[in-house]
Structure 1
């Protein structure tokens, strides 16, 4: 009988511990003191583009809610210094960020700066402030691409085009050139237009915060006509502009094809020259020899005497 009471007491103790722990997790109370345990406010300072991963609690819960309150650096204003932020029933407005167990931000931007808190079953479990800074302590505006400029040289046989891309940026941008294309060769798509990357040499220089990049098209032909785009990329964003180039028909293509067709006449000329020489030889061989006799007489053909004929002698 004593063993039965001992086992029953052990089971009841285990149940009371589990219930107490669950009560502490769900209501924010502990077994030692009847008050709400307020989380400490932590500060996270990270650069632009940094990923953020924060877990609410170690317990998996289906009632996790992440909330967000916008605050400007250095977070000394009323919204982030008010002690009422810990009170779930306060009048301070919070924006719901997500209902996942983890707070996940792939790439920090200036708009992500502020205060975050995790709430489970009406209790604030975690509270921290995120301060977003750039490389120099600020976030720069994205690059700005101006309208593309075109210059061409048409007073020469080989036509040349130059496309100039002017980019206004606080840091040196990466400039990439594209041309509109079709089919499966599409490298990037912008505004429902398919572009292919152009791996061509370019020249670049800067004047203050304006970065100039030039792309040259040598020996331009009809196939070089089309839509060209200049894309500028920095860690703060991107921008692009495009322009259309129409290569005029200079007629060089037609003249070249005519000259090329004349090459087929060379073998014919080489065949005609020996034929003419042979005809002249045959004609000259068949021509008879003619001499001129006394005036008034008719031209006679000289017939070479046969080798069997002998002159006769007259007896005196």
Structure 2
């Protein structure tokens, strides 16, 4: 890289082609000249001025008795070194002001209107949004169109075009990264919810298994040994209880009495037994008909079992014949 390609900043220490050394105090145009010049306050060597040329003050030197200032072109500067006083931006750099206005640096130094030694930047704007044409308080610092010039003393409000473009790129990448992180977080939260649900299901399954282990399962033989409920009593018990209740309840209604006035009466009782419900595929239970003598030992008691719906005509005829015979013997 040649010497001319190295940028020179306000506040840099430089070495001139004649061996003189000094520090940069001004960068800009000279009145009546279009070439960029650098104002150097010399620390070694012989100077030519005190920063004023042809009645125009471009910079000020510390010494009041000696001429320690020189105005040179870029080709006279052989070496340059940055210092703690070096500015961030230099001549002909594209900058962005407060992220809104864009322009080119045309002047770097401490103008005569400044109230401090703080460095000022004279910027030619790309749009007519400035407040001067490069002149201020009667002195020309740089050349630009009307309302295209502005002076900025706060470096924090400036950003180089490269830095601005990089910042834009970083913001875009940051937005992409944030969107990616949001999607990633959403996916991770969804996975966490699914995992929690699966864990809850597993816990419920484990609880069910523990309950099954705690509650003993009865074998088939043990189930057979368990006592049956009242509703599941054996048909014979149900049959006996039903027969007893039906006999007590319907004794007067189902009793047929054949009485002779001169003889002992013989009573025939027909009892209809209501059988309980039996298991399927079994025949209906038969009716029980009881014939008993109420008073005398001569009455015969017979119990015959017939199926439901059959009339006992023979039994009735024998009973009537027996009653007649008894009446004849008594006569």
TM-score over 0.5 for the pair: no
Greater share of helix: 2
Larger Rg computed on CA atoms: 2
TM-score by length of 2: 0.27
TM-score by length of 1: 0.28
Greater share of strand: 1
